[in-house]
Amino acid sequence: MNTYDSLLATVSAQSGETREVFDPATGELIAEAPVNDVATLEAAIDKAEATQPSWAALSDEERIAYLHKAADAIEAAAEPLAELLSREQGKPLNGPNARFEVGGCVAWTRAAADTPLPVEVIVDDESGYAEMHYRPLGVVGAISPWNWPMMISIWQIAPSLRMGNTVVIKPAETTTLSVLALVAVMNEVLPEGVLNIVPGPGSTVGDALTRSPKISKIMFTGSTPVGKRIIEASAPNVTRLTLELGGNDAGIVLPDVDPAAIAEDLFWGAFINTGQTCAALKRLYVHDSVYDAVVSELAKVAAAVPMGVGLEEQNVLGPLQNRPQFDIVDRLVESAKASGARVVLGGDPDREAAGNFYPTTLVADIDPQQDLVLEEQFGPALPIIRYTDVDEAVRLANALEVGLGASVWSADRDAARKVAARLEAGTVWINSHGGLHPMIPFGGAKQSGYGREFGVMGLKSVAEPQVISG
């Protein structure tokens, strides 16, 4: 049975090049993480390539059974996995955080296993017969981020394995231990060589993974600039890509809302994972007639939500995962202050503290062209913009080059849907923001990437469609 100490011992580096891992809430040294090189990556790719034919030769039912065993193994190790995630990433155990994330790993693995994907009959009439099959691609290269390191890794791993591919995954450099532990638990029940992990720098290991001619598909979640580099690096091999890139999600609050009724959902849409979520609400446009009331009710909710060390059970907001991200949020809020925007709550971090805590921050009466609005802050700071005409709010929401998610808030669902249809985003939520479902496709528009994950579309995205005609 896995414990926190046994898992940490399994994934900590004992020799070779290492990197110190510090708890972002306390500054405490957790362990040494391994740092692999390109030669290690190439060996892992070769192993995955050699294993893939035998994995693909299994029946769909056999691969489904393996995924259920992997889900069971994650569930059995849920508490030590959550503790390690909390210590390394910073997110609290409770709330929509570490325990929630490990539970999501279990749920998404089972969903990927159980989603039916039958042969599709395309034509069956006097003109002929044709059917669509979905074949394995080969080796999938997965590159996961630091904000939801375990769950997003599962979003890449589980469908790939279900469809008969093998996987080589490179975790983010600052959340290496979490993903190493997740993979170690899964590999207790998976055949050797099916799931491989190689931690290392993006500039060397990540770059080599995207350039390898032996990789048939790259799945990446991260920033748009890195996504563009992956497109360039993989182009000579015509590698298939699924890219979930940066977002700066807009929410539009229509004038018919009850501010008190929507305040808590607005808060969690923006501040889940302390704002460190690609599809979090990052700029909120509120009609003038309800603006002051929405700001007031949102501030009441925000002020009551405890932030602190993740292992302390009462906390549901934690630190920023790394200091560079803290500095980005700090810079953007200071820029907003200097522009004359009104800080309703927060905005006063202790920059000398050991942990990367940035207080929950609401910024009102801010110019829509201010940096805090235009740049993705990826932290616990929400700009709230006043508008008087919904056409102008839609124009501002669509003005940026990204379009991952968006939301519309209204007591009239039909009116909200009409506004939602005008927004340029991969997903538009009504009266909520950021909720995901394992059967509902998810992905971005514009420079927030391309390809879809989850459900039937997610399985098809890691497979090669093949028509058999005649």
User: What distance, in Å, lies between the first and last C-alpha atoms of the chain?
Assistant: 53
Residue 409: burial class (beta carbons within 10 Å; 0-12, 13-18, 19+): buried
Q: Which residues pair with 26 in a beta bridge?
A: none
Pairing of strands 402-403, 405-409: unpaired
Tell me which H or E stretch contains 157.
Answer: helix 149-162
The residue written with tokens 């009850």 in the block is 258
Q: Does the active-site annotation cover 376?
A: no
Beta strands in 114-259 (DSSP E): 120-125, 128-136, 139-143, 166-170, 195-197, 217-221, 240-244, 249-253
Please identify which of the residues 88, 278, 376, 424 carries the catalytic annotation: 278
Give the residue among 173, 151, 364 at the shortest CA–CA distance from 272.
Answer: 151
Whole-angstrom Cα distance, residue 269 to residue 265?
A: 6
Give the residue among 218, 225, 217, 161 at the shortest CA–CA distance from 189.
Answer: 161
Q: Does the active-site annotation cover 126?
A: no
- DSSP-derived 3-state class of residue 186: helix
Please identify which of the residues 88, 244, 297, 424 carries the catalytic annotation: 244
Residue 380's contacts (CB-CB under 8 Å, 6 or more residues apart) are 271, 274, 275, 307, 317, 320, 329, 346, 358, 359, 360, 361
Angle between helices 98-114 and 78-89 (to 10 degrees): 120
DSSP-derived secondary structure letter, 470: -
For residues 282 and 377, the answer to whether their CB atoms sit within 8 Å is yes
Whole-angstrom Cα distance, residue 390 to residue 392?
A: 5
Whole-angstrom Cα distance, residue 139 to residue 186?
A: 18
| Phi, psi values for residue 398, rounded to 5° | -90, -5
Active site residues: 244, 278
